[in-house]
A and B are shown apart, each in its own frame.
Chain A
Amino acid sequence: MLNQYGPIVIFAVIAAAFPVALLWLAKFVRPSFKPTPEKVMPYECGITPESDARGRYTVRFYVIAILFVIFDVETVYLYPWAVQYQALGLFGLVEMLVFLGILIIGYIWLWKRGALEWI
């Protein structure tokens, strides 16, 4: 038991001690930190930030994000099929066409419903 888990315990101790030791050592080398308003400001390419980043934005972005995820997943499904195209043959092609067909019906539906319009 100890033989098997011993190395893991030693590893965990070293892993925990290492960052603590480094932070402690860095205290001796680094210049002392004196905060000023400019230093604590969020970094925005050197320009003074104009407003808070946690603003409210329109819900339409969520619709676009959801649509993106759907077609993203579609691509993820297409990759393994494309790699194994030779092995899967006609069967794979038909299965993939069925899958794409269902997605296309969904696409037509959301187009017609106006989900792609930016009102």
Chain B
Amino acid sequence: MWNAFFHRADYLAIKPEVLLTMFGLAVLLFDFLLEKRDKYLNAVLALIGLGFAAVQLGMFWPLLVGQLPYSGFGGTFTLDTFAVLAKLIIVLATAIVVLLSMKYLEIEGAHLGEYYALLLLSAVGMMFLVSGSDLIVLFIALELMALCEYVLTGFLRVNRKSNEAAVKFFLLGAFSSGLLLYGMSLLYGIGGSTKLSIIAQRLAERPSPDPLSWVAMITLLAGIFFKIAAVPFHQWTPDVYEGAPTSITAFISVAPKVASFAFFIRILIAALWPMRAEWQVLTIGVSIATMTLGNLAAITQTNIKRFFGYSTISHVGYLLLGLVAAADGNREGLTAIVIYLLVYAFMNLGAFSVVIVMRRKDLIGDEIDDLAGLMARAPGLAILMLIFLLSLAGIPPTAGFIGKYFIFLSLIETGHYYLAVLAVVYAVVALYYYFRIVVAMFMKKAPDTVPLATGPGVTVALGVAVAMTLLIGIYPQPFIMMAREAVRPFFS
């Protein structure tokens, strides 16, 4: 026996995380060996690490399809198809962000190895977050993810807005972690264990209605709602999005959302399933508020990063609708969330890639007017942006349509007609504000003809994002099968 505590297979199960940690640390040291003009090699090293992790995750997938979840480290770490798919999305999103960052950081004059190391370590936190099935593991993973994000938000040290955003993010994040921890401690008090499955058993045994489990659930959910930027815990989102370096805005609008949603689903299904009637009511209220505020506030924004902040909030509202359906035991609800997250990651990163290209030495390029006349300056980029915006608005044949379609379908299957109608109405509002950017690109005059900051990294990122956005939209079948397989562990 290798040791008395854990199986050897436990260590194989966390191999992608271990690899990413090692590469993150390697980037830290590798940075010292590089000349200033060779700093892009940091990004290359980070990409190699992400590639290894992705390959390893790809090898896990066929082993887990149709099988029982693997439970390691004394039941604190679960590896199932759901976790593997979420981790794959996280790794891919991080890789795209690394590609986006190379040129951008050079222009900002902040091209340091720490940036990539923090990105990788944040990804490690997210990967443990989607696999954790124990409150302690989940909390540590969440903090690892969040702490790296705070530092990355303030990475432009001489930029006031970046610093302000980081401090705001840190203070509010610390507060929300406190709420989350309060809920967790109550759950531990109820369950007598930090394991999600045991908590679910104890919750089921309690009489209903039970004020203690109500308080535990509400505080826990309030903490999670903050992390996913749901109303009324969304206030940090536009400020942080605006202040953070654009590449980091792209990162925190995608990867932590995927991880937090996976964590949210696991907590709700694995631990709070006995209280599904209660959290369904809460989720309905929050999703209506989130969709309303996100969609209506986005209309008036002039800064494109704030704009995407509110657009993210509205997407979170749609994602929460999938949970409403899932509370009725509808599998399609969770399938819809998984597909939506996959689609959302690529279309949002694609849109941010176009915004990043606007950054120049003398121009921040984050106002909607900075995109004016893009069709005349760079027709290719304008067309790509159009595809991403159509996808974000949910127009076929792009991927965004598939995501929204499954959400609406699950709502109708479970009889939440009024929610489905409301969501469709807001999709129309979304189309209006996304087309404000299209109008600026196609119908306004370009202010100048200075060439744009493209580079090999951004080109590859744009290529991957547009390919996935169109592929999922035109031929969704394999991705739907994957999503169905991913949610199977929750219903067996």
Contacts and interface: CB of A to CB of B under 8 A. Distances in A.
Q: How large is the interface on B (under 10, 10 to 19, 20 to 34, 35 or more residues)?
A: under 10
Contact of B29 (A89, A90, A91, A105): A105
Interface string B120-135: 0000000000000000
Contacts, number: 17
A109 B29 CA distance: 7
Interface in B5-24: 5, 21
A108 B29 contact: yes
A89 to B, nearest CB: 8
10 contacts: A89-B3, A90-B3, A91-B3, A91-B5, A105-B25, A106-B28, A108-B29, A109-B28, A109-B29, A112-B32
Question: Which 8 interchain pairs have the tightest Cβ spacing?
Answer: A91-B3, A105-B25, A109-B28, A112-B32, A105-B29, A105-B28, A91-B5, A108-B29
Contacts of B4: 89, 91
B25 A102 contact: yes
A67 to B, nearest CB: 16
A90 B4 CA distance: 10
Contacts of B21: 102
Interface residues of A, number: 9
A44 B96 CA distance: 60
Interface in B433-467: none
Contacts of A90: 3
A112 B28 CA distance: 10
Contacts of B28: 105-106, 109
Interface of A: 89-91, 102, 105-106, 108-109, 112
Contacts of A106: 28
- Name the prevailing secondary structure of the B interface residues: helix
Nearest to B3: A91
A109 B25 CA distance: 9
A67 B2 CA distance: 35
B396 to A, nearest CB: 48
Interface string B16-55: 0000010001001100100000000000000000000000
A89 B1 CA distance: 13
A106 B29 CA distance: 9
Contacts of A105: 25, 28-29
Contacts of B25: 102, 105
Contacts of A109: 28-29
A89 B28 CA distance: 31
Interface in B58-72: none
Contacts of A112: 32
A105 B4 CA distance: 29
A96 to B, nearest CB: 13
B7 to A, nearest CB: 12
B157 to A, nearest CB: 13
A85 to B, nearest CB: 14
A109 B113 CA distance: 11
B5 to A, nearest CB: 7
Nearest to B25: A105
B433 to A, nearest CB: 43
A28 B313 CA distance: 67
Nearest to B32: A112
Contacts of B5: 91
A90 B5 CA distance: 12
Nearest to B21: A102
Contacts of A89: 3-4
A106 B26 CA distance: 11
A92 to B, nearest CB: 9
Nearest to B26: A105
Nearest to B112: A113
A93 to B, nearest CB: 11
B381 to A, nearest CB: 37
Contacts of B29: 105, 108-109
A32 to B, nearest CB: 48
